[in-house]
Structure 1
Amino acid sequence: MRKIYLVPALVGLLTFVAAGPVAAQGAVPKQKAAQAPKAAAAGAAPAAGAPAAATTEAPSAGADDKAKSIDGFRSAKFGMGEADVRAAMIKDFNAKPDAIKAQDNASELTHSILMSVPELLPNGGTAELSYVFGYKSKSLIQVGAVWSKGTDAAITPEKLFSNANILRAHFMGEGFKPDSIAVNMPVAGGIVMFRGSDAKDRSVILLLQGTFENKDNNQRVLTPTSLLLFYVADAKSPDIFKLPPGQF
């Protein structure tokens, strides 16, 4: 079973762009027939041959009225205990209780429950959902979704890229704090397609992972192997086990 981690490796993404837009030239998702949806044109990932750049979105008129609040995923809310989250999963996905599996993380001392969901994103293939409970609080601190060959044998790089474009276009219109938004930002092993936070610094991170190839003109092209979506209650100070200072 795939190990579920919180996002200490992604915590840097929340501070990496804190000072403003970051130039991120030369990383391009590899694609064949998969083109960015028209709805994503304003913030679409570059087509092959064009450089990517991290950007922020200026607030639109009335943005304060529709500001995004990240309180969990669907009926599962941050701060819920495991029994309530299991009930929310059954309600949201009409799932049977035995479809939900449990898993512990030995290094972070967190606990997770997982479930496969066909068509979590319409026509997007089967995803695996994970709900992570904190080390001290024992309450919900993160919800994640993963699309990959491991979750759906029929999924393709083009489908992963399409899913990423659709989700990014959706999040770009959700009213996140403008100075928290970044798109198309290359990181080790992939591209942050979207990152944004609400007024309480709860965050959404959309990461397209894969392998990079160097092409002509020093162009780095990404062949996607997985798409990860995280809803995180507190990515800067996650509720995971850490050794107390001075013990070693």
Structure 2
Amino acid sequence: MRRIYLIPALVGLLTSVAVGPVAAQGAVPKQKAAPAPKASAAGTPVAAGATSAVAAETPVADDKIKAIDGFRSAKFGMNEADVRAAMTKDFNAKPDAIRSQDNASELTHSILLSVPELLPNGGTAELSCVLGYKSKSLIQVGAVWSKGTDTAMTPEKLFSNANILRAHFMGEGFKPDSIAVNMPVAGGIVMFRGSDAKDRSVILLLQGTFETKESNRVLTPTSLLLFYVADAKSPDIFKLPPGQF
């Protein structure tokens, strides 16, 4: 059974990115977006100066900011039947191709579908739609590309997919002071993070293993994760009430 990446990891990820980039030489002040590092046979080089956050220089009206309401026909707040119908519509999926999985600790419910060419020429991804603990409605949509979703996947393909998606999101009009790119975190790089006026977020995370080669940190990608999150800071998951233990 494949691992489903869920909300709590994103909370820590958003927090670590918000306080500033983590690099080999420590925190780096906010600066203009740096170009994405180029892939090589050895992996993806990550220099300290390659990390960046994009701060707002000019206020942007809320009605000019891109709204994040889900992914394709699957919209935040939908129930399971509607999410399954949206998957069927968007990907011409047969009912028995759509699977489900419960998270025993968060008490959330996920609906899963393998999607060939979710990103053109990007290989097969696994799409997951997560329904909240209390609401039983859609709170997160995720897509994962890896060897586990496509045996033909390569580090070069993962990095190419990440670059294509990052370039797309950079032109989408997210809230300027929420945008971060090329941010090293534990186990990978946040290629892009951005939020809308209601703090609903898109996160693009390239995961892999880091090595130090010729004074550079080099990431060899093993998976690419894309998340659309309704509320990453206060997710609808099970938590023990205060005072019980």
Hey, what's the Cα distance between the residues in 1 that align with 2:53 and 2:8? 23
Give the Å deviation of 1:229. Answer: 0.2
In the alignment, which residue of structure 2 is the partner of 1:178? 176
In the alignment, which residue of structure 2 is the partner of 1:44? 35
CA 1:49–1:240 in 2, change beyond 3 Å: closer, same or farther?
closer
Uncovered stretches (5+) of structure 2, i.e. residues with no partner = 26-32, 39-44
With the length of structure 2 as denominator, give the TM-score of the two structures.
0.88
In the alignment, which residue of structure 2 is the partner of 1:53? 51
SS at match of 1:234: coil
Hey, what's the Cα distance between the residues in 1 that align with 2:101 and 2:47? 41
Give the Å deviation of 1:5. Answer: 3.9
* Structure 1 residues 73-222: aligned runs within 5 Å: 73-217=71-215, 219-222=216-219
Match for residue 227 of structure 1 among 224, 229, 233: 224
CA 1:95–1:62 in 2, change beyond 3 Å: closer, same or farther?
same
2:234 pairs with 1:237: yes
Hey, what's the Cα distance between the residues in 1 that align with 2:163 and 2:55? 16
Q: CA RMSD in A?
A: 2.1
SS at match of 2:180: coil
The residue type paired with residue 93 of structure 2 is A
8 Å Cα contact 1:66-1:174 kept in structure 2: no
Give the Å deviation of 1:2. Answer: 1.4
Uncovered stretches (5+) of structure 1, i.e. residues with no partner = 28-41
Q: Deviation digits for residues 100-153 of structure 1, max 9, x if unmatched?
A: 001100010000110000000000000000000000000000000000000000
With the length of structure 1 as denominator, give the TM-score of the two structures.
0.87
8 Å Cα contact 1:209-1:224 kept in structure 2: yes
SS at match of 1:184: strand
Give the Å deviation of 1:50. Answer: 4.5
Matched positions, count: 231
Task: State the percentage of identical aligned residues.
Answer: 83
CA 1:23–1:105 in 2, change beyond 3 Å: closer, same or farther?
closer
